[in-house]
Amino acid sequence: MLDTRIQEALPALYDLTPSVEKTRATWEIYKTMARVLSPADWALHAPYVIAINRLKRERNAVILAHNYMTPEIYHGVADFVGDSLALAIRATEVEQDIIVQCGVHFMAETAKILNPAKTVLIPDASAGCSLAESITPEGIARMRAEYPGAPVVSYVNTTAEVKATSDICCTSANALQVVDAVKGDTVIMTPDRFLAQNVANRTKKRVVWWDGACVVHELYTADDLRAYRELNPEVKIVAHPECRPDVVAEADYTGSTSGIVNWVRRNRPKQAMLVTECSMASNIADELPEVTFAKPCNMCPYMKKITLEKILWALHSGEVEVTVAPGIADRARRAITRMIDLGREAER
**Calpha distance 274→67 (Å, rounded):** 13
Among 25, 34, 208, 215, binds ligand SF4 (CB under 6 A): 215
Residues β-bridged to residue 277: 298
Q: Give the residue with the Cβ less far from ligand SF4, 48 or 194.
A: 194
Q: Give the residue with the Cβ less far from ligand SF4, 179 or 216.
A: 216
Enumerate residues 6+ apart whose C-beta is below 8 A from 150: 143, 144, 184, 186, 187, 188, 208
Q: How far is the CB of 301 from ligand SF4 (least distance, A)?
A: 8
Among 157, 166, 190, 307, binds ligand SF4 (CB under 6 A): 157
Binding mask 181-220 toward ligand 13P (x if CB under 6 A, else -) reads ---------------------------------x------
Pick the closest to residue 158 from 345, 324, 346 (CA basis). 324
Residue 280 touches which member of ligand SF4, ligand 13P, none, C-beta under 5-8 Å by kind: none
Asked if 278 touches ligand SF4 (CB under 6 A), the answer is: no
Give the full edge-to-edge strand order of the sheet including 271-275.
Answer: 253-254, 236-239, 271-275, 292-294
Q: How far is the CB of 257 from ligand SF4 (least distance, A)?
A: 9
CA angle 143, 147, 150 (to 5 degrees): 100
Among 48, 81, 277, 322, binds ligand SF4 (CB under 6 A): 277
Q: Give the residue with the Cβ less far from ligand 13P, 70 or 171.
A: 171
Instruction: Find the part of the chain contacting ligand 13P (CB under 6 A) among 78-86, 196-204, 266-274, 315-323.
Output: 78-86
Asked if 32 touches ligand 13P (CB under 6 A), the answer is: no
Q: How far is the CB of 99 from ligand 13P (least distance, A)?
A: 17
Asked if 171 touches ligand 13P (CB under 6 A), the answer is: yes
Among 26, 70, 84, 158, binds ligand 13P (CB under 6 A): 84
Q: Give the residue with the Cβ less far from ligand SF4, 214 or 339.
A: 214
**Calpha distance 294→287 (Å, rounded):** 16
Name which of residues 116 to 135 contact ligand SF4 (CB under 6 A): 129-131
Instruction: Find the part of the chain contacting ligand 13P (CB under 6 A) among 83-91, 179-187, 223-231, 283-291.
Output: 83-91
- Please give the residue ranges that form the binding site for ligand SF4 (CB under 6 A): 104, 129-131, 157, 214-216, 242, 277, 300, 302-303
Residues interacting with ligand 13P, by CB under 6 A? 67, 83-85, 157, 171-172, 214, 240, 242, 256-257
